[in-house]
Every structure is written in C-alpha cells, then in structure tokens.
Amino acid sequence: MHKIFFLQSVVLSEQEIVGAIREGNERIFEETFRKYYQSLCNYANSILKEIDEAEEIVQNLFLNIWEKRSELEINISLKSYLYRAVHNHCLNRIKHLKVREEYQQYTVNFYDASYESVSQTVLKNELETKIEEAIRKLPEQCKLIFRMSRFEELKYQEIAEKLKISPKTVENQIGKALKILRVELAEYLPLIIICGTTFQIVQ
C-alpha cells in the first residue's frame, strides 16, 4: 500500500495526491513541492556536486509535472517517482555536460590544428618561392646540375653521363650551388628547418 500523507490536516493517499495534482489542485501541488523540494535538491546535489544545477533540475521537474499534470500517471510511490526522475535528469545533465565539454575540446583542437596547418602551408610556400628565386641566380651549368640532383633525384654518376662530364665536376658544381644558396637563403634558414624542406640546402 502507498503511504498516507497529511496535507493541511487532511489525510490523503498518494494516489489521491496524484489525482488532485492531475485535476489542477494548486494547493496540493504546492504542499507536495514543499514537502519534497529540499530533500530532492540534496539528492541531486550529491550526484552533480553543484547546488545551483541541482536546484534547477528539481524546479524543472516540478514545473514539468505541473505543465503536463493532465497526463500524470504514477504507478509507483510518489517519493520513488520523484527521486527516480531527479536521478535520471542528473545523469542526463552529466552526459550533456560531458558531450559539450568534449565538443568544445574538439573545436579547440580542430581550429588549433587547422591554424597550424594553414600557417605551415603559408611558410612552406614562401620558402619554396625564395628557394626557386635563389636557384635561378645560379650559373647555368651549376643550376642545371643542381636541379637534376635535387629535383630529378639523379645520382652524380647519372648526371655525369647525361651531361658528358666527370662525376667530380658534378660534385664540385653541387658544392658550389649549395654555398651560393646558403648565402642567398641565410635569413630563411629557420624556415628551412621548420618546414623540413627536402632540398637539403643547409647540409
């Protein structure tokens, strides 16, 4: 049997209380609210560890009950119903906060990564432009050999055979090109290191 409640000296069963609320009895609803409010807030706070959130959940629960009172059906004890509802709302709030926190963290990481990616691209494009400008300033044979070595990835022997010169000449021309490029690109060496260019200018 459901317990009996004394509301303003009137003895009512739980089902009578639920029925009265369903019919829009404001006095019964208010007394039920006063009877359970603080204990429900304490229970919610024990889960959320945040009294303002706990009070909001309990207030919203009673507000929802009143707004949908005509549909109110409680087949367990009123106390059990209220505590179970608060419990579920607390779990939903925790889940919502966790999802929001994870989304915010994802957003921060995503935009940080995007910004870093864009910055890297800009730096790399700037560096490649400066390297190309520097290469164009090389003497013709020196420039040709350097391009064949660095861009076509040919070995010294292969370059020598194609140009009908000695491997030693190829080596000397590559060395000459690197010395010139180090001077031309001296102020860009930090960018070369950051971008990890494959041109191996600094070696």
CATH number, position 153: 1.10.10.10
pLDDT digits (tens, 9 = 90+) for 17-52: 888 888 889 899 899 999 999 999 999 999 888 888
Instruction: Answer yes or no: do 19 and 97 share one domain.
Output: yes
Instruction: Answer yes or no: do 59 and 14 share one domain.
Output: yes
Domain of residue 179 covers: 137-195
Instruction: Answer yes or no: do 87 and 162 share one domain.
Output: no
Instruction: Answer yes or no: do 25 and 94 share one domain.
Output: yes
Task: Write out the H or E segment, with its range, that includes residue 159.
Answer: helix 156-163
Q: Is residue 116 part of a domain?
A: no
Q: Mean pLDDT check: name the lowest of 67-81, 93-107, 136-150.
A: 93-107
Q: CB of 197 within 8 A of CB of 131? A: yes
Tell me the Cα Rg of the chain.
39
Looking only at the bridges linking them, the beta strands covering 10-13 and 4-7 are: antiparallel
Kindly report the CATH number assigned to the domain that includes residue 54.
1.10.1740.10
Helix crossing, 78-136 with 140-150: angle to 10°? Answer: 150
Q: Is residue 115 part of a domain?
A: no
Of 133, 116, 18, whose CA–CA distance to 70 is shortest?
18
pLDDT digits (tens, 9 = 90+) for 114-153: 545 555 666 677 777 888 888 888 888 888 988 888 878 8
